[in-house]
Structure 1
Amino acid sequence: MSVLTIPAFGATELVDRDPARPGPGEVRVRVEAAPVHPADVWVHDGRLAALLPGTPPYTPGWGVAGVVDEVGPDVEDLAPGDAVLGLSDWFDTFVGTHASTVVLPARAVGRRPATLDAVAAAALSLNALTALQALDLIGLTSGTLGITGAAGGVGGYALELARLRGLDVVALARESDREFVERAGAHLAVRPADAADTAKALTAVAGRLDAVLDAALLVGPALAAVRNNGVLVAVTGPATPQAERGVRVETVHVVGNGTQLTELAGLAADGTLSTRVAATYPLVEAERAYRAVLAGGLRGAVVLVP
Structure 2
Amino acid sequence: MVICPITVKPAFRTPELRDAVEAFASNAKRAIDLATLPNMMCHVGQRIMMSRLSAHFIKYGSDHCLDTSEPEAQLLRRSAEDAAAEVADFQSIVKDVFHQRVKSPFRALNDRISPITDFVDEGIQQSYVTMMSTQIILAWTAFETLAGDLWEAAVNAHPKTLAKLEPKGGPSQGDGKALPLSVLDKHDYDIQHKMGTILRNSKRCTFTRLDDIVDAYSRSFPQPSPLSRGAMWQDADLVAACKVRNVFAHKAGRVDDDFVTALKSDPRFRQYSERDQLVLDGKLTTDLVRGLFKFAVSLIGQVDDWLVSN
TM-score range (shorter-chain normalised) is under 0.3
TM-score normalised to structure 1 length: 0.23
Larger radius of gyration: 2
Q: Does 1 or 2 have the higher relative contact order (CA < 8 Å, sep 6+)?
A: 2
Structure (1/2) with the larger helix percentage: 2
> TM-score, length-normalised on structure 2?
0.22
